[in-house]
Amino acid sequence: MGWPYIGQTLQLYSEDPNVFFASKHKRYGEVFKSHILGCPCVMLAGPEAARFVLVTHAHLFKPTYPKSKEKLIGPSALFFSQGHYHSSIRKLVQTSLSPQRLRKLIPLIESEAISALESWVSSSQVINVFQSMKKFSFDIGVLSVFGELDKNYRDQLKEMYCIVEKGYNSFPNWIPGTAYSKALLARRRIREIISEIICKRKEQRLMEKDLLGQLLNYKDEKGQTLNDDQIADNLIGVLFAAQDTTASVLTWILKYLHDHHKLLQAVKDEQVAIYEGNERGKKALTWDQTRKMPITYKVILETLRMASIISFTFREATVDVVYNGYLIPKGWKVMPLFRNIHHNPEFYPSPHNFDPSRFEVAPKPNTFMPFGNGVHSCPGNELAKLNMLILVHHLVTKYRWEVVGSQSGIQYSPFPVPLHGLPARFWTNQ
């Protein structure tokens, strides 16, 4: 269980999670305990255990986050909630990200992708790919939440989110001047900005289909609407969830394509055929075309497996639970380990080799969970994958890139990304 109070938190957040989890898995089997972030935890490293906690017996486990993190996002956000409220909000998020809505977002996502890539080339500088992808992912998140938002609001939100992000994974210290206290002030400013946007939307009586519109128009069976705090918490939560995870995966995609020349050529051939069919990019991509990128799609799936950006998820036992003869005491945290499952050679032969062809056959049930599983799985997964397909299309058909400096190494902040955020230089194809 590690040191008193600290437990094994330092090892978990400073080591390669593959090493941390795999050593325990090897020593203790698929069910073992630890002490993380001041809490006793049960870690579950098998697909059936993950299904038990997240799907078949999800009612016995509640989503749980440290109070310091909950305070920065907002207690009414989707991923802190349960029951009827959770299912209602989840439906609204899913509706705002339905295939019909995503079809309409494609030209806007394309415009953002082209703008991002052109800015990387025109700077003639070495780009921190991860930081650049964060900006791109945030802009797409804003589109999905607010539609085409005024640039002034968008810039203000981005500035405040950077401050919140720095405080989110810092020690929760309320002393003025600390990263956490600055994050709380920035969060308050985000709330004010969202209030202004809501007031304008109500004054103009716009009936938009974006997430803000869905939340504003919601009424339950008793005619109750959502209050502004509930709306703001959910908008802040969705924007927060949309940024780092998608940016991390996109960074790894560029890394893997850079390192595998034959694969890059196969992806390029696939995308150039679509590009030529669109009169060399004069026509916009269509929804149907994004559904016909099998090689690129398998690259995305394999990147999600290899990188396993979300190594685990936190739940808390609401009662004493027995799983396979093991007692999970009420109040203990429970952590299904996605990374262990994704890197298990029983399910993925040679798991540390990057091999998209393995997805020519569908994975076994409960062995591929990059977006979680069950009622709390990520409702924005299709938007995330669409972002990736569109950005890769424009990247490989019009540009080339070279990684600068170290070709290996991983940093954890807290999501795994290539060392130094993958410094790279971009050029236009001649």
Q: What is the C-alpha to C-alpha distance for residues 22 and 45, in angstroms, rounded to an integer?
A: 9
For residue 270, what is the enclosing H or E element? helix 261-277
Could you tell me where the DSSP H helices lie in 123-227? 129-146, 151-168, 179-204, 211-217
Domains identified in the chain and CATH numbers? 9-147+208-428 (1.10.630.10)
pTM: 0.90
Determine the average pLDDT of the residues in 417-429. Answer: 91
Sign of CA dihedral 59, 305, 411, 402: negative
pLDDT bin (cut points 50, 70, 90) of residue 373 is confident
Spatial contact of 309 and 341, defined as CB atoms under 8 Å apart: no
Whether the predicted pLDDT of 236 surpasses 70 = yes
In this prediction, residue 83 carries a pLDDT of 84
Q: What is the pLDDT of residues 46-73, one digit of tens each?
A: 889 889 999 999 889 988 877 788 888 9
pLDDT bin (cut points 50, 70, 90) of residue 265 is very high
- Residue ranges of the binding site: 378
In this prediction, residue 14 carries a pLDDT of 64
- Which residues neighbour 336 within 8 Å (Cβ) at sequence distance 6 or greater? 44, 49, 50, 53, 54, 312, 313, 315
In this prediction, residue 9 carries a pLDDT of 67
The HSE-up count of residue 154 (CA atoms within 13 Å, CB side) is: 17
- Residue ranges of the binding site for heme: 378
Top pLDDT among 289 and 82 is at 289
